[in-house]
Structure 1
């Protein structure tokens, strides 16, 4: 049997393991955490499968707002320059992707991946429970200028199958009655009827069980990956805290930690961590049924069963990964202002923070590395779950050709 080691047991790593196992590979998954989706962004992400909302982070509007972000004048986005060559290189490549032409190209490329992902996840959803919902996504706009920009971009995406629609304020409220309790004013909304949602942590837990029982996938949790062993540009093994595992094929799917592990093999990945926060609270009868994004405040509300996941903030900082109570409180108070009656904000709020592995063009890195036998599936940014099955399928094609 063709053997492969998958490094990482988040949603991208497990999707990779699933597709590879179905193609007949013998798969071993290694992760430092105690279980699947325990250590990274897959645990507490925004819970959305945002197939139509694939807008690249690097854009003309992002560049225009950089002074505001650097001065800390936007509560939802913070940027602190890091004095390092790696950050400088990432930042310059990010700026190079911020033209209108690059923004549109990167957004459409991600959209194409998302459409592939939707088909793959629909098939898997029949085997794996993850509180799956198909109630669509609504993005609210507070200004006519913002809504017009959204209309122009959606027209471009619709030519590639996004199927989005612009709604007036009245149409939005008719479609989502919970907007009666929205705490701010808005002029209209962008409606994405085919966007979905679910619990990515539950998805990973149940996918692990499926992989073990139906495909014989082996899992090694609590195993720290120290470095990649190579000889003459060829993969020879994975060195962990429990010893070296000889192998000729491995997949790097460790989110932001892919950078450090890849570096041990002489590979420099253009990935930088962007920190986000979330909370999960008991839902009330006044909570929205569809996923709702307040675009002005960059905050997402998404139902998961009898709970609602609220996620937001984007911090680029030298000490990313550290939970900052002040930043979490910003999200909490922002959420109260947006939907004050959506759930119980005064009880257990399930505070969480995690790192999104962002590339300069917001597109994942999938395929061969310069080390023969070492493959990459990383850098998915905020769209890890939304793109995971599609990138896993492309990854598997690369491995099948080389097997």
Structure 2
């Protein structure tokens, strides 16, 4: 018996003493996918073949060697990342990551531009999620899209949103499960506006037009994403939390909560149970803001653990969709994917290994002392041994051993690509 298996057997006994079925927890973890975000691999450049600046308040820094420059390079890098992450997970695409044989504006894209991604994912048993790209375009240069006062510009972005929903629906039909299409727009104001109402009225009307055509929920789930502020929209964001919460409730849409889109002292873990009383499902963009919405690589911190605890304690696994949203080019980009995804799964496993019913029984009985004692003892339980066993049984490296594969890949492949254009850890893009 290997050292990993010995440690696992001891951990299983420890958890069994608390009434936790470790094997059931691991099996449950296998059924919960995480949606990896394509933009970590190329610093949100995309493949439109234009010189469009990222814009819309989105800032990036850093130039670690090895940025993916083509669709094939990005897919290859994703293959490496997936091979080091236990479980079978999804891929989240932005619209600017299509394959374009000729110049194609955002309002003209179609499923033909993403058939290569559908085929690639089918071969690897991944499923796709999608996002319209309301940034890095001349008609978004002033930081306004669906709420723009110019009807022609507004219609251009409405048409883009409509095209993206059609694409996402066809993706869902092809893969046999719903593709989540998440709408985030950068619209806002650097200084205090004189009229907060009119842009929000225009945004609501534009969204209604984007969502006018109904698609089967088995193919498409629509999501809307809020934000507190951004660079260039420090004083006013049209699509605020309150705006999109009301919109999601009244239009029966998913609400997307991004861990970096609120005040630095505000957390999304506390919002999960509240919002799920009123919206059908949630999409989470798991990120890590440092002082601002800076999209740092997800670490195994208290808020990540709290997010996963809320999902599991509330029994929300089937109503909360977990996506990642960070990008950092100050370190190896593939390593960033692996670090963030493995940490997310670790936090999920830790939550699944809680004796949930015991904790909630203690709470209902008013035994707050017992609840606190058990919660504190759980922090030193050997969940790491269960995680190592899960990795080993999934055929991926245990512990930090996966870094050896990254180092070798960097030496053999990434270093030959040279340095990237200035890019990196940035504000959230969706």
Q: TM-score, normalised by structure 1?
A: 0.27
The structure whose residues are more often strand, as a share, is 1
The structure whose residues are more often helix, as a share, is 2
Answer with 1 or 2: which has the greater Rg. Answer: 2
